[in-house]
Chains A and B, each alone.
Chain A
Amino acid sequence: MAGSFDESGADLELVGVTKRFPGFTAIENLNLTIPAGSFFALLGPSGCGKTTTLRLVAGLEEPTAGRILIGGKDVTSSKPHQRPVNTVFQSYALFPHMTVLANVAFGLKRRGMANAQELAHEALRLVELDHLASRRPVQLSGGQQQRVALARAVVNRPALLLLDEPLGALDLKLRRQMQLELKSIQSEVGLTFLHVTHDQEEAMTMADTVAVMNKGRIEQMGAPEELYELPRTTFVANFLGQSNLFIGDVVEAGADAITVDIAGLGIKVPRERAQRHAGEVTIGVRPEKITLLTKAPEAKAGSNVLGPGVVTDVSFTGVSTQYLVQIPGLPVITVFAQNMAFGPLVELGAEVWVSWAVEHGFGLADEPGPEPKFAADDDTKTIAVQRRQRLEDELDEA
């Protein structure tokens, strides 16, 4: 490894990885394969185990069980400095006693690269900071530090680049800009990126593949569009964007679609988009797929209708307007409507029907529990995880 770069990115494979901390399990039997050259995002709320996963891959934590393979080589028991992996830390962790250039050249020098200085300058040019090479990190803005941290990791051409919420500290505009920059750097250098974030928008914009993590497990994995359009679990449906979810019994399971009884109305969901085809099921539809109607529509094949209901809230968000519709016997339904005209489509308190095409519905795999329909995360383990996360965050800040 010393003295030369890896040819390209490498596959990352986690096999049955479990990590237990005293008192709780952060990751439970995680199996994951990230193909070489892909931009992979691990998405989840704080305490879901995504940062622990990253630290396991970097070698900063040791798994309780399981194996980690990079490019087919077992690295489970090798030390961080022996792994072909570099990390962009959430806190950047730029060495305060070195110049920007020395920071970027650090890894190259440790690997005995002869032309460390030139390569470091080149990496700084990539992030457009070469003119600040002789400064100390404290003299840079947050966005510049972030780019130095990125250059310091990318310059080593690691088989695998780990990004630990590196954009968290940046403001929205800078974050957008950095997202695009990261993406272009990734395609330029062809490395495998593993990006950990709790920002669903960030994950969807940047990654080829997104894995949604919850409570130490991967709930669902796939391309961003696929995850969004066809969530398989309640958690994914709610964490990735918003969803209107309904619970009801399957009354008819046809060849193309299943019909679910929702408040006395038969709602159809395409068979291949439903995970369960019998018994009590949860079905849903995204808010922007719903149309608001002011008159009771004609019953029509290929569309579902619920109503009548009352508009209880109208909020203008710029591109679209969000309406909340209360239909007796159902949870509040959220509807997004594009602002194609000035002013809202319907006024507050108006009587409306909601309608969506059958093909936009999805059926979830979760076993709908009794009450409450969406269980609060208040079991001991979750609380322990969240406590720990909060504590760690506090420590990080301190």
Chain B
Amino acid sequence: MAFGAFANTGPDLSAAAPRRRSYIALILLLPGVIYLLATFVAPLVSLVLTSFKEPGGDFEVGEYVYAFRWENYAEAIGRFGEIFLRTFGYSGLATIFALLIAYPLAYFIGVTLRRFPLWQSLTLILVIAPFFISFLLRTLALKAIFADEGVVVSTLQAVGILGPEQYLNGTAFTVVLGLTYNYIPFMTLPIYASLERLDLRYVEAGGDLYAGPAQRFWRIILPLSLPGVVSGMLLTFIPASGDYVNASKEFLGSTSTVMAGNVINELFFQSFYPLSAAVSILLMVAILIPVVAYVAKSGSEDLL
């Protein structure tokens, strides 16, 4: 049921369609299967094999041979355990903030603007408008906005929120803010898709049955849009956990905000391939566990 999280709201009527063995469907599936084998399964196997490699005989940098050196994993956990925790802390916070910002936005577009299709399309374009500018440029722009000599920092220093020697860039604040900002569209669109098809007659019925505005939201609107919320949270949390741009020194982070993605990136470019691969796999497994638990829980209970 894991992929049910990405499905839209409402009962699935197609389930009633007659089941017929069709080879055409399998043939049409073939390009996708080949694509996944070549770009996902093969690299994954290679990654697992690499993660157990050990240095080659002549001890040249970047020379490794196939082996079963599980100590790579012990080293990864020992050296980067704290960074893993920070990674999930940052991406978890970014997911929550993105949800708090995206839900009202999606509600406004999907429900309030429902009677004005033109405005609905325009606002949706605005939601994805950031994608028209490169991800790197946007993040650099954020860095410029929060620059040490910039208006924001000097204003905050002037009113005393920041001390004279305190800055924003390179702190957890800017990293989480950057992650939140960059993933808001991924949160907004699935929630919008759920809310857009929300049958408002349920909300009317709730009002008729003595539910006030807050009750209508918690008991009717939110549960009915849960599939979108689950998809949006996954689409934000998973890539944010692997993100290596926002937290890097060149962008919004510093040495004290390093995330798992930055570690992988650095180890790779320093040619520590097995260790880099081990960190990657650990990150993948660490993401997979909470995600599977989350989807299984929401899938069994309230996802329609």
Q: Which residues of A contact B (CB under 8 A)?
A: 58-60, 79-81, 85-87, 89, 91, 93-97, 106-107, 110-111, 138, 152, 156
Q: Is the CB of A81 within 8 A of B11?
A: no
A152 partner, pick from B11, B209, B223, beta carbons under 8 A: B209
Select from chain B the residue with minimum beta-carbon distance to A107.
B209
Select from chain B the residue with minimum beta-carbon distance to A92.
B205
Task: Give B209-225 as 1s and 0s: 1 = Cβ < 8 Å from A's Cβ atoms.
Answer: 11110010001100110
| A156 proximity list for chain B (CB < 8 A) | 209-210
Q: A93-B201, A93-B204 are in contact. List 4 more A-B contacts (CB 8 A).
A: A80-B204, A81-B210, A86-B208, A96-B202
For A60, A85, A87, A110, which residue has the most chain B Cβ atoms within 10 angstroms? A110
Can you report 7 A-B residue pairs in the complex whose CB atoms are below 8 A from each other? Answer: A81-B207, A81-B208, A81-B211, A89-B205, A89-B208, A95-B205, A106-B211
A80 to B304, CA, bound (A): 28
| A85 proximity list for chain B (CB < 8 A) | 208
Q: Is the CB of B209 within 8 A of A91?
A: no
Nearest chain B CB to A74's CB is how many angstroms away? 19
Q: Any chain A CB within 8 A of the CB of B250?
A: no
Select from chain B the residue with minimum beta-carbon distance to A90.
B201
Q: Is the CB of A110 within 8 A of B211?
A: yes
Q: Is the CB of B209 within 8 A of A60?
A: no
Given that A81-B210, A106-B211, A110-B215 are contacting pairs, would A60 and B204 also be in contact in the complex, using a CB cutoff of 8 Å? yes
Q: Is the CB of B304 within 8 A of A91?
A: no
Given that A60-B204, A87-B205, A93-B201 are contacting pairs, would A111 and B210 also be in contact in the complex, using a CB cutoff of 8 Å? yes
Nearest chain A CB to B4's CB is how many angstroms away? 14
Given that A110-B215, A138-B11 are contacting pairs, would A93 and B210 also be in contact in the complex, using a CB cutoff of 8 Å? no
| B208 proximity list for chain A (CB < 8 A) | 58, 60, 80-81, 85-87, 89
A156 to B220, CA, bound (A): 19
A95 to B119, CA, bound (A): 29
Nearest chain A CB to B111's CB is how many angstroms away? 15
| A87 proximity list for chain B (CB < 8 A) | 205, 208
B201 partner, pick from A79, A91, A97, A152, beta carbons under 8 A: A91
Interface of B (DSSP majority class)? helix
Q: Count how many chain B residues have C-beta atoms less than 8 Å from C-beta atoms of the other chain.
A: 22
| B11 proximity list for chain A (CB < 8 A) | 96, 138
Q: Any chain A CB within 8 A of the CB of B149?
A: no
Q: Is the CB of A80 within 8 A of B302?
A: no
A17 to B302, CA, bound (A): 42
| A95 proximity list for chain B (CB < 8 A) | 202, 205-206, 220
Select from chain B the residue with minimum beta-carbon distance to A96.
B304
| B206 proximity list for chain A (CB < 8 A) | 81, 95, 106
Select from chain A the residue with minimum beta-carbon distance to B223.
A97
| A107 proximity list for chain B (CB < 8 A) | 209-210
A20 to B137, CA, bound (A): 52
| A60 proximity list for chain B (CB < 8 A) | 204, 207-208
Q: Which 3 A-B pairs have the closest CB atoms?
A: A107-B209, A93-B205, A80-B207
Nearest chain B CB to A202's CB is how many angstroms away? 22
| A91 proximity list for chain B (CB < 8 A) | 201
Q: Is the CB of B209 within 8 A of A97?
A: no
| A97 proximity list for chain B (CB < 8 A) | 223-224, 226, 302, 304
A80 to B204, CA, bound (A): 8
| A106 proximity list for chain B (CB < 8 A) | 206, 209, 211, 219
Which positions 69-122 of chain B face chain A at CB distance < 8 Å? Answer: none
A60 to B206, CA, bound (A): 11
A152 to B208, CA, bound (A): 11
For B209, B212, B219, B223, which residue has the most chain A Cβ atoms within 10 angstroms? B209
| B224 proximity list for chain A (CB < 8 A) | 96-97
| B220 proximity list for chain A (CB < 8 A) | 95
Nearest chain B CB to A278's CB is how many angstroms away? 50
A138 to B10, CA, bound (A): 10
Q: Is the CB of A89 within 8 A of B201?
A: yes
A107 to B11, CA, bound (A): 24
| B204 proximity list for chain A (CB < 8 A) | 60, 80, 89, 93
Which positions 259-304 of chain B face chain A at CB distance < 8 Å? Answer: 302, 304
A85 to B205, CA, bound (A): 11
| A94 proximity list for chain B (CB < 8 A) | 205
A28 to B149, CA, bound (A): 67
Select from chain B the residue with minimum beta-carbon distance to A1.
B210
Select from chain A the residue with minimum beta-carbon distance to B205.
A93
Given that A96-B224, A110-B215, A138-B11 are contacting pairs, would A86 and B304 also be in contact in the complex, using a CB cutoff of 8 Å? no
Select from chain B the residue with minimum beta-carbon distance to A55.
B204
A81 to B207, CA, bound (A): 5
Select from chain A the residue with minimum beta-carbon distance to B301.
A97
